[in-house]
Homo-oligomer: A and B are copies of this chain.
Amino acid sequence: MTAQERMLEALRTEVLTGALRPGEQVVQEVVAEQHGVSRVPVREALQTLASEGLITHVPHRGYFVTRLSIPDLLEVYRLRTILETEALTAGIPVLTDADVNTIAELADRVDSAAAERDMAALTHANRDFHFAMFDAAGMPRLSRLLRQLWDASDVYRSLYFQQAGNRERVGREHAAMLDAVREHDVETTIRLHDEHRQHSVSWLTAALRREPAHRRTP
């Protein structure tokens, strides 16, 4: 595995778990030293994250963790709604029994991570759970676009998960989805996803309004 791939993974995790906070500058030399590599692979990883939108690049100034505005967050969720509906419509009917079992297992993993308050594991397991359904559509580009949109909002989802009530709610919602998925009930699965999203977007906009204390991404 190349150094830039390691850096990409490391940086993505740090952003997604909130170790690097929105608006914060990512100084190349610091990251390089922490991981024992030179600045070159760090730059290339940052480049990738920038083109995905997770990081914002300002020439001659540096790389900053992207800070979502509320309108941007709403747009992300609107696009997710459209594209996830498409993915579920194509994917749920063609799920095999093995797929369903995998999804059930992933739901368990979400629960354990939630119980242990392991945010990194929770974020990952949650993604895996949902993308097991999305990927079933067999539309790699659609999956990829969705991953980008999830990346963009994961920075804030870690906030959402930090509250115990939200973690419990997610557990219940996932269980309901699993039931619908078991019966290949596309309509219900979509409806549950819509509600799931709806709740987190309202919670998050409220949270963002409460805490406008970061300074703007320069």
Interface residues of A (CB under 8 A from B): 2, 5, 40, 43-44, 47-48, 50-53, 59-60, 72, 75-76, 78-79, 82-83, 86, 139-142, 144-145, 148-149, 152
Nearest Cβ in chain B — how far from A9, in angstroms?
14
Of B5, B40, B140, B149, the contact of A40 (CB 8 Å cutoff): B40
- B75 and A140 contacting across the interface, CB-CB below 8 Å: yes
Closest chain B residue to A86, Cβ basis: B82
Binding site secondary structure of chain A: helix
Nearest Cβ in chain B — how far from A200, in angstroms?
17
- A139 and B75 contacting across the interface, CB-CB below 8 Å: yes
How far does the alpha carbon of A148 sit from the alpha carbon of B147 in the complex, in Å?
A: 14
Chain B residues near A148: list those with CB within 8 A. 145
How far does the alpha carbon of A148 sit from the alpha carbon of B83 in the complex, in Å?
A: 15
Contact A51 to B52, CB < 8 A, known contacts A5-B59, A142-B75: yes
Chain B residues near A44: list those with CB within 8 A. 43-44, 47
Chain B residues near A145: list those with CB within 8 A. 79, 145, 148
Of B47, B78, B140, the contact of A48 (CB 8 Å cutoff): B47
How far does the alpha carbon of A209 sit from the alpha carbon of B61 in the complex, in Å?
A: 48
Chain B residues near A83: list those with CB within 8 A. 79, 82
